[in-house]
């Protein structure tokens, strides 16, 4: 009976031409092959191991910086197993005065869960221009819809940790201050399109290393 | 023969139970019925007319305002025929010193075509933080990927007009200054999450009517 | 100047017909209106508050049961703010001998992060029939592609906690043992389609309350 | 032990607020509630029965008509269980001289399998304008990509039967001759936009009952 | 006039830069180029022939095996023309006592049509855990929503044949018994996550060739 | 402070493994790498310039042809920046008697805005077979749902210009007359599947260069 059944394994899923090894249960990123609008190319299934689906966010990001905070992503660019699967995750560390400045994720919605400490968070809706604010404690979760400006700040006297998940393997991260003050966006255009004062723009460009 | 063929019209698309009037070629918005994640509910096909698919953007928006510019949308909320179809359009009018301030469309990518005058436009990528700038003249088009900060300013001495199309019937519009300074976003939080000075925040809140 | 600018607020986003209050930044679930293939109908924006986007997963689920484990979901059915956003989350609690039995999420991929304790987890690919296994400790994450059989078991001597995020607001949960043994699936058909012995099927039906 | 386990059934999938009966495994069409861009509203799960997922295409469509053929659809409008699932099916009957005239499905791709007889089928690509033709016999299948003009004609001396599946629950059906000659499309516009002769247009309008 | 019109063919679809041969009507699989999350890479349009869209499912799969049944797929891995089109098909053959054991398709919904004989089929919903069962005869169709456990068994005394279509070109196939008993899934973990007895697991592992 | 902040730029977005340069804000077409179902492969971000997002549709297409009209596309095949973004655009030029003949876009919905002159346009719905007609003047817009037959004709005595946007970077263009009369579609099959007279088919094949 065993013999017949093993034969069954071969014959059961029969095909009159050879099958071409589709890996569409998942598409583990092959960083050396071309990337397309839907994500990275897939590794050959035979080369996929469990390590492609596992990652460690155990260590705190380094918060010895001016925002006293860190984001450690496990997006498709770091964790090949999420490629094509519509999900990714990151770790937030906020020292007592830590701030994740106003930012957007152009490519995905976010859900945050507080693991330690207290976090005040908020987002602003687009046309209605409503501000949604909440102070969250351990075990609280909060949703941030795709593409809307939002922030997180430490709201307790102690270090805060959160995990944030995204509805995309590559949600992107556009930090407002970096977009305005940390590249070569000409100051005159920044001022014209934000109504910020020249002194303010130049001061923050100085801090963040922007030119122009 | 006519008789038989007319009969054919009835019998050709045969069905053993009555068909339930699906309108899935299109789903013209019924503003009185519930809205869902994919858009408005559909009007009954029998009530749809060509007027549901037609709109006029012939008139200039009123640019007698502090930005000397106007956006006139034909999104699903104004033009019921685009509901569910993944497309919409708007008209931009920029007086000689007009500015469409930095903003994002959380829900769609944009393509702009200049109809009259000259427009300088730009967008900033997210993680790479690169600024892409171009001065466009009549007949030029430019692409703005979904969710990224971008702007348009009049770059000639005369009125400029453009049409902007979107990859969504409801792309949304989040204007940075309005999100920061034209609602009840507490100044302390604005400052903490943008590094702007208190005086700057309060000045612009004063101008734009923000509180808190 | 203020006066002109406030006027600008009204005129800037001009429209020749009244706009019909689209809420497409987000679509907070209205549980009393019809549900469609894309999710629940949306609450009127004016009725949306920050509470619609916030939830608490602070409390452990009750693990005093035969699997010594609990799943506490924050899906669209519990957390209205995730409706339509392609994301949701749940909390897993595993007592020292706790087991989340083999199951699938027909509607979404999953990413797990261990918050406390140790968890052994695994999934099985479809056509290639490969088993991917890993023992995870605090801070480790693991990906489970959509629709594939997977499990989590406590791998330490102490309580384990994890958060699991999904690429859908309603990923579903099909627990293998419940599908086979906890409903009225006729034993004869269970046996015929699983090759399990009659005694085995009847034993587990007895335990899980299945009939037929 | 049974007692504890039945308790487990209740406690296992725990939630601190009542769950709101999501039916997102499937969304069986409720023809009396509003339809949206993603399909019909869903019936309450408690009202769903197996009959919602089953249909009969056992009977031949009536081919006593001028095309000697019939299409019997099981789309979302006939079969409520496919609503939202991205699939549907129809039966084709072609009498010995039967023809399914040139048509498109605006909303889905098609796969055809011949059950009886012989069928010649073809489609035309868009920009490259290539004609792909094949005569199919029993057991042969053929793919017709979304939105492209295609046809099927009986290629044997005996009745032919096929099943055609679609990548949408509501693929639509636009028959070229009906679009041109069986409605009130003004003859002058038909001629101007097709270059057909006036006599040809009027002849076929006569046959198909068109006006204008 | 011909001359002018042929010229028109060239000039009509004008472009100021050369067009780069997009093949987006369809994307016939090139099995030698990289695969991505959306499917295989596309063959150059010039190399596509009608054979890429045609396949034969005329021959019965070999049912001389322990399940007395066979599945013969025409998925993207076998039929290059369905790549990217959201549809595929397979043939089921069930000898008089044939069984397609409990399985899921992680990547697509299914619609079945009985061509010959009688088939009893069923699926189980996820959270509600409801069993939907039906005995189908020739011409009957049945829908199986994505990712849910389902089965088909011969319900007559004669051979049964069915065609099953899927809402994906690569729906996947996870057969429960193969996932549990035909690979190296450690018996201890199988038992722990299914509550099956050790003897039962080892017996079926023996039959199906599983190890561990 | 600057020093610390520049350090922050490096440390803020921390990662324990190198990131693999994802470009998912956008995916500018690399015409030399493989194309997939979701579009062209992406250029390396470092090679992307603003020129990839800009195009000129300033020049009229050549309307010295039998239709007295021209379509100038800026699809993904011409404008690499729209690849993967769900949007594209084209320019229509219609001399006084110009006609864009009946056609479909299999891959996208369309929105048209008249820039100069007058245009009569229309489309035909599928199952309901309704004709929607409108004469449009400067500034008017009209929607054409995906895959439905539609046309545009000059309705004034002067040249007309319009821009048409699409909900896809590669919407395709199937012109009815070209599909029927400008390739090797055998006349006998054209006649059989359209009911056009042999003389009519041969006349238009002669004009449009068709064979067979």
Residue F85 clears pLDDT 70, i.e. is over it: yes
Q: Does C126 touch chain E (CB under 8 A)?
A: yes
Calculate mean pLDDT across residues F196-210: 97
Instruction: Say if E166 falls within a structural domain.
Output: yes
Which DSSP helix (H) or strand (E) runs through A104?
A: strand A99-104
Nearest to E139 among D45, D56, D111 (CB): D56
Closest CA to D112 of B176, E165, A24: E165
Query: Distance (Å, rounded) from C-alpha B125 to C-alpha E14?
Result: 32
Instruction: Say if D27 falls within a structural domain.
Output: no
Nearest to E174 among C126, C133, C182 (CB): C126
Strand ranges for chain D from DSSP E: 35-36, 39-40, 54-56, 69-74, 88-94, 99-104, 110-116, 119-124, 131-136, 140-144, 150-154, 160-166, 174-175
| Interchain pair A177, B184: CB under 8 A | no
Query: Distance (Å, rounded) from C-alpha E46 to C-alpha E24?
Result: 13
- The single residue listed with the structure tokens 């610390």 is F4
Residue D75 clears pLDDT 90, i.e. is over it: yes
Write out chain D residues lying below 8 Å of F177, CB-based: 194-195
This complex has an ipTM of: 0.92
| Interchain pair D128, E85: CB under 8 A | no
Residues E77 and E121 in one domain: yes
- The single residue listed with the structure tokens 């509470």 is C51
Residues D139 and D103 in one domain: yes
Are residues B89 and B74 in contact, defined by beta-carbon separation less than 8 angstroms? yes
Residue D127 binned pLDDT confidence (cut-offs 50, 70, 90): confident
Are residues E121 and E53 in contact, defined by beta-carbon separation less than 8 angstroms? no
Instruction: Say if B195 falls within a structural domain.
Output: yes
Is the pair C, F in contact (3+ CB pairs within 8 Å)? no
pLDDT of residue E3: 40
Query: Distance (Å, rounded) from C-alpha B55 to C-alpha F25?
Result: 32
Residue F159 clears pLDDT 60, i.e. is over it: yes
Residues F85 and F129 in one domain: yes
Residues F200 and F143 in one domain: no
Which DSSP helix (H) or strand (E) runs through C194?
A: helix C187-194
Query: Distance (Å, rounded) from C-alpha B190 to C-alpha B181?
Result: 9
Residue-level pLDDT, tens digit, chain A, 212 residues: 334 444 444 445 544 444 555 557 999 999 999 999 999 999 999 999 999 999 999 999 999 998 999 999 999 999 999 999 999 999 999 999 999 999 999 999 999 999 999 999 999 999 899 999 999 999 999 999 999 999 999 999 999 999 999 999 999 999 999 999 999 999 999 999 999 999 999 999 999 999 99
Write out chain B residues lying below 8 Å of F167, CB-based: 85-87, 167
pLDDT of residue D5: 43
Instruction: Name all chains with 3 or more CB-CB pairs below 8 Å to chain D.
Output: B, C, E, F
Query: Distance (Å, rounded) from C-alpha C135 to C-alpha C121?
Result: 6
Which residues have CB under 8 Å from B47's CB, separation 6+? none
Task: Encode pLDDT of E86-95 as tens digits.
Answer: 999 999 999 9
> Residues B58-86, buried b or exposed e (16+ Cβ, 10 A)?
beebbbebbbbbbbbbbbbbbbbbbbbbb
Mutate to test the interface with D, among F65, F98, F185, F202 (most CBs of D within 10 A): F185
Are residues F22 and F8 in contact, defined by beta-carbon separation less than 8 angstroms? no
Task: Encode pLDDT of C59-72 as tens digits.
Answer: 999 999 999 999 99
Average pLDDT, chain C: 91
Query: Distance (Å, rounded) from C-alpha A155 to C-alpha A142?
Result: 15
Which residues have CB under 8 Å from B68's CB, separation 6+? B94, B95, B96, B97, B98, B99, B154
Give the Cβ contact number of residue B44 at 10 Å: 12
Q: Does E117 touch chain A (CB under 8 A)?
A: no
Task: Encode pLDDT of C72-122 as tens digits.
Answer: 999 999 999 999 999 999 999 999 999 999 999 999 999 999 999 999 999
pLDDT of residue D19: 52
Write out chain B residues lying below 8 Å of F50, CB-based: 132-134
Task: Encode pLDDT of D89-124 as tens digits.
Answer: 999 999 999 999 999 999 999 999 999 999 999 999
- Tell me, what DSSP letter sits at residue F184? -
| Interchain pair B208, C5: CB under 8 A | yes
Q: Helices E187-194 and E198-208, interaxial angle, to 10°?
A: 120
- The single residue listed with the structure tokens 């469990």 is A50
- Tell me, what DSSP letter sits at residue B42? B
Task: Encode pLDDT of B162-193 as tens digits.
Answer: 999 999 999 999 999 999 999 999 999 999 99
Residue C33 binned pLDDT confidence (cut-offs 50, 70, 90): very high
Which residues have CB under 8 Å from F138's CB, separation 6+? B58, F114, F115, F116, F117, F118
Instruction: Say if D138 falls within a structural domain.
Output: yes
pLDDT of residue F97: 95
Residues D97 and D168 in one domain: yes
Residue in chain D nearest C60 by alpha carbon? D14
Residues A79 and A129 in one domain: yes
Instruction: Say if B31 falls within a structural domain.
Output: no
Q: Is the dihedral of CA E161, E166, E172, E174 positive or negative?
A: negative
Which residues have CB under 8 Å from B170's CB, separation 6+? B39, B75, B76, B77, B88, B107, B108, C22, C24
Strand partners of residue C113:
C141, C163
pLDDT of residue B19: 52
- Backbone angles phi and psi of D24, in degrees to 5: -75, 0
Which residues have CB under 8 Å from B88's CB, separation 6+? B73, B74, B75, B76, B79, B82, B108, B165, B166, B168, B169, B170, B171, F111
Query: Distance (Å, rounded) from C-alpha F98 to C-alpha D192?
Result: 10
Is the pair A, D in contact (3+ CB pairs within 8 Å)? no
Calculate mean pLDDT across residues D181-188: 98
Nearest to F66 among E4, E24, E30 (CB): E4
| Interchain pair F75, E14: CB under 8 A | no
Residue F17 binned pLDDT confidence (cut-offs 50, 70, 90): very low
| Interchain pair A176, B176: CB under 8 A | yes
Q: Does B106 touch chain C (CB under 8 A)?
A: yes
Residues A132 and A75 in one domain: yes
- Backbone angles phi and psi of A198, in degrees to 5: -60, -40
Q: Helices E198-208 and A2-12, interaxial angle, to 10°?
A: 70
Query: Distance (Å, rounded) from C-alpha A161 to C-alpha A141?
Result: 12
Residue in chain C nearest D16 by alpha carbon? C72
Which residues have CB under 8 Å from E12's CB, separation 6+? F65, F67, F69, F70, F71
Cα F46 to Cα B130, C117, D50, F43, F49: the distances in Å are: 10, 43, 56, 8, 8
Which DSSP helix (H) or strand (E) runs through B207?
A: helix B198-208
Q: A103 labelled as ligand-binding?
A: yes
Calculate mean pLDDT across residues F93-119: 98
Is the pair E, B in contact (3+ CB pairs within 8 Å)? no
| Interchain pair E185, C149: CB under 8 A | no
Beta pairing, strands A88-94 & F174-175: unpaired
Nearest to E147 among C107, C124, C192 (CB): C107
Tokens found for residue E151: 């089965």
| Interchain pair D129, F203: CB under 8 A | no
CATH of the domain at D92: 2.60.120.10
Task: Encode pLDDT of C132-142 as tens digits.
Answer: 999 999 999 99
pLDDT of residue A3: 40
| Interchain pair C65, D1: CB under 8 A | no
Q: Considering only residues 69 to 88 of chain F, which have any Cβ-Cβ distance to chain B shorter than 8 Å?
A: 74, 79, 81-82, 85-88
| Interchain pair A193, B105: CB under 8 A | no
Q: Order of strands, edge to edge, in the sheet holding C160-166?
A: A54-56, C140-144, C110-116, C160-166, C88-94, C69-74
Closest CA to E76 of E25, E147, E28, E22: E28
Query: Distance (Å, rounded) from C-alpha A66 to C-alpha F9?
Result: 9
| Interchain pair E209, A39: CB under 8 A | no
Give the minimum alpha-carbon distance from B202 to chain A in angstroms, rounded to a whole number. 11
Give the minimum alpha-carbon distance from C164 to chain B in angstroms, rounded to a whole number. 23
Q: Considering only residues 15 to 54 of chain A, which have any Cβ-Cβ distance to chain F shorter than 8 Å?
A: 29, 31, 34-40
Query: Distance (Å, rounded) from C-alpha C62 to C-alpha D13?
Result: 10
pLDDT of residue C184: 98
Nearest to E65 among A8, A19, A38 (CB): A8
Q: C20 labelled as ligand-binding?
A: no
Residue-level pLDDT, tens digit, chain E, 212 residues: 334 444 444 445 544 444 555 557 999 999 999 999 999 999 999 999 999 999 999 999 999 999 999 999 999 999 999 999 999 999 999 999 999 999 999 999 999 999 999 999 999 999 899 999 999 999 999 999 999 999 999 999 999 999 999 999 999 999 999 999 999 999 999 999 999 999 999 999 999 999 99
Tokens found for residue D195: 């270059």
| Interchain pair B33, D34: CB under 8 A | yes
Gyration radius from chain A CA atoms: 23
Residue B127 clears pLDDT 50, i.e. is over it: yes
Nearest to E36 among F36, F76, F172 (CB): F36
Write out chain E residues lying below 8 Å of F107, CB-based: 24-25
Residue F22 clears pLDDT 80, i.e. is over it: no
pLDDT of residue A24: 75
Are residues A75 and A83 in contact, defined by beta-carbon separation less than 8 angstroms? no
pLDDT of residue D24: 76
- The single residue listed with the structure tokens 């010995």 is D96
Query: Distance (Å, rounded) from C-alpha F15 to C-alpha B65?
Result: 46
Domain that holds residue F114: 57-172
Residue C30 clears pLDDT 80, i.e. is over it: yes
Q: Helices D198-208 and D187-194, interaxial angle, to 10°?
A: 120
Residues F64 and F123 in one domain: yes
pLDDT of residue E19: 52
Provide the number of structural domains found in chain C. 2
Calculate mean pLDDT across residues B4-24: 48
Largest Cα separation within chain C, whole Å, is: 84
Tokens found for residue D35: 């339809």
Residues B197 and B166 in one domain: no
> What's the gap between Cα B52 and its chain centre?
18
Are residues A193 and B101 in contact, defined by beta-carbon separation less than 8 angstroms? yes
Residue in chain E nearest D115 by alpha carbon? E115
Residues F138 and F199 in one domain: no
Which DSSP helix (H) or strand (E) runs through F115?
A: strand F110-116
Instruction: Say if B185 falls within a structural domain.
Output: yes
Calculate mean pLDDT across residues D120-148: 97
Q: E110 labelled as ligand-binding?
A: yes
Residues F106 and F190 in one domain: no
Tokens found for residue A133: 């604010």
Residues D167 and D107 in one domain: yes
| Interchain pair D176, F194: CB under 8 A | yes
Give the minimum alpha-carbon distance from B117 to chain A in angstroms, rounded to a whole number. 19
Write out chain E residues lying below 8 Å of C153, CB-based: 189, 192-193
Are residues F207 and E1 in contact, defined by beta-carbon separation less than 8 angstroms? yes
- Tell me, what DSSP letter sits at residue C63? -
- The single residue listed with the structure tokens 């006998």 is F188
Residue B2 clears pLDDT 90, i.e. is over it: no
C2-16, C106-120, D181-195, E153-167: range with lowest mean pLDDT: C2-16
Nearest to C129 among E99, E153, E183 (CB): E183
Instruction: Say if F39 falls within a structural domain.
Output: no
Query: Distance (Å, rounded) from C-alpha D52 to C-alpha D28?
Result: 7
Strand partners of residue D198:
none
| Interchain pair C176, E178: CB under 8 A | no
pLDDT of residue F24: 75
Instruction: Name all chains with 3 or more CB-CB pairs below 8 Å to chain E.
Output: A, C, D, F
Query: Distance (Å, rounded) from C-alpha F128 to C-alpha D173?
Result: 9
Instruction: Say if C18 falls within a structural domain.
Output: no
Q: Does D179 touch chain B (CB under 8 A)?
A: no
CB pairs under 8 A between B and C: 102
Nearest to E24 among F73, F172, F182 (CB): F172
pLDDT of residue F127: 82
Q: Considering only residues 48 to 67 of chain B, which have any Cβ-Cβ distance to chain C shorter than 8 Å?
A: 56, 59, 61-62, 64-67
């Amino acid at each position: 009976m065993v013999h017949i059944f093993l034969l069954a394994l071969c014959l059961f899923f029969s095909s009159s031409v050879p099958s071409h090894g589709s890996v569409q249960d998942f598409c583990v990123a092959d960083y050396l092959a071309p990337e397309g609008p839907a994500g990275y190319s897939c590794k050959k299934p035979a080369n996929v191991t469990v390590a492609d689906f596992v990652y460690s966010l155990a260590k705190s990001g380094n918060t010895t910086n001016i925002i006293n905070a860190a984001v450690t992503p496990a997006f498709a660019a770091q964790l090949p197993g999420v490629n094509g699967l519509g999900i990714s995750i990151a770790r937030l560390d906020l020292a007592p005065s830590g701030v994740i400045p106003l930012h957007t994720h152009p490519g995905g919605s976010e859900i945050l869960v507080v693991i330690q400490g207290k976090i005040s968070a908020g987002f602003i809706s687009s046309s209605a221009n409503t501000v949604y604010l909440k102070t969250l404690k351990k075990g609280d979760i909060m949703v941030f819809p795709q593409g809307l400006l939002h922030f997180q700040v430490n709201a307790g006297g102690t270090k805060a940790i959160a995990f944030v998940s995204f509805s995309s393997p590559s949600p992107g991260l556009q930090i407002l201050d970096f977009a305005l003050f940390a590249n070569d966006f000409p100051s005159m255009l920044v001022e014209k399109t934000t109504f910020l004062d020249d002194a303010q723009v130049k001061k923050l460009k100085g801090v963040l290393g922007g030119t122009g």
